[in-house]
Chains A and B, each alone.
Chain A
Amino acid sequence: MEKIIEIVLSGLSMGSIYSLLALGFVLIFKSTGVLNFAQGEFAMVGAFICYTFASLMKLPYLVAFPIAIVLGAVLGVVIYALFLRRMIGESIFSTIMLTVGLASILTSTAGLIWGHDVYLLASPFTNKVVSIRGIILSQGALYTILVSLILFIVFLRFFNHSLLGISMKGTAEDTDTAGLMGINVRMIHMIAWAIGGIVAALAGMFLAEQSFVRLEMSHVGIKAMAAAILGGMDSIAGAVLGGVIVGIVESFASSYLSGLEFANFHTGDIKEVAAFAVMILVLMIRPQGIFGKEKVERV
Chain B
Amino acid sequence: MKTRILIGGLALLSALLFVANGAWAGQVRGVTDTEVKIACLVDLSGPGKYGGPPIADAFRTYVAWINDTGGIHGRKINLIVEDNGILPNTTMIAARKVLLKDEVFALAFNLGSAGSSAILPLCEQHQAVLMPHGANKEFFIPGNKWVFVPHTVQYSMASRAVEYILETNPKARIGMIYQDDGFGKEGLDGARAAAAYMGSQIVQVAPYRTGTIDFSSHMSAMRDAKVDWIVLWTYLPQSAAIIKQKTVMNWDVKLISNNTTGVPPLFALAGAEADGYMLVTPYAPGWMDLPGIIRIKDLTKKYGDYEKTLGNPSYPDYLYMAGWGYIEAFVQGLRMAGRDLTPESIVTGLERVRDFDMGGVSPNISFSPDSHVSSFSSLVLRANGEKGRFEIIDPIKEPKTPIQ
Contact = CB atoms under 8 A, between A and B. Distances in A.
A127 B265 CA distance: 18
Interface string A257-271: 011000000001101
Contact of A215 (B47, B205, B216, B249): B47
Contacts of B47: 116, 215-216
A120 interface: yes
Interface stretch (A2-10, A64-72, A150-158, A282-290): A2-10
A291 interface: no
Interface in B213-259: 213-214, 216-218, 220-221, 224, 236-237, 240-241, 244, 247-250
B247 A271 contact: no
B49 A136 contact: no
Contacts of B218: 254
Task: Choose among A219, A258, A259 the residue with the greatest number of B CB atoms under 10 Å from its CB.
Answer: A259
Nearest to B266: A118
Nearest to A219: B211
A3 B209 contact: no
A258 B207 contact: yes
Contacts of B180: 268-269
Given A3-B220, A118-B237, A127-B244, A212 B207 contact: no
Given A111-B49, A269-B208, A138 B213 contact: no
A7 B217 contact: yes
A10 B217 contact: yes
A258 B220 contact: no
Given A116-B49, A269-B207, A212 B217 contact: no
Nearest to B48: A116
A219 B211 CA distance: 8
B50 interface: yes
Interface string B162-204: 0000000000000000001000000000000000000000000
Given A10-B216, A216-B211, A136 B248 contact: yes
Assign chain B's interface to a size class: 35 or more
Contacts of A214: 237
B208 A212 contact: no
A117 interface: yes
Contacts of A123: none
Interface in A212-236: 212, 214-216, 219
A14 interface: yes
A99 interface: no
A129 B216 CA distance: 13
A118 B207 contact: no
A78 B343 CA distance: 56
A52 B309 CA distance: 24
Nearest to B47: A216
A7 B217 CA distance: 7
Contacts of B265: 117-118
Nearest to B273: A127
A175 interface: no
Contacts of A115: 49
A41 to B, nearest CB: 14
Contacts of B248: 127, 129, 136, 138
Interface of A: 3, 6-7, 10, 14, 111, 115-120, 127, 129, 136, 138, 210-212, 214-216, 219, 251, 254-255, 258-259, 268-269, 271-272
4 smallest beta-carbon distances between A and B, as pairs: A211-B213, A116-B49, A254-B217, A269-B209
9 contacts: A10-B217, A127-B244, A211-B214, A212-B213, A212-B269, A215-B47, A251-B217, A258-B217, A259-B206
Interface of B: 45, 47-50, 180, 205-209, 211-214, 216-218, 220-221, 224, 236-237, 240-241, 244, 247-250, 265, 268-269, 271, 273
Given A119-B268, A120-B268, A259-B205, 15 more contacts: A3-B220, A3-B224, A6-B220, A10-B216, A10-B217, A111-B45, A129-B248, A138-B248, A212-B213, A212-B237, A212-B269, A216-B211, A255-B221, A269-B209, A272-B212
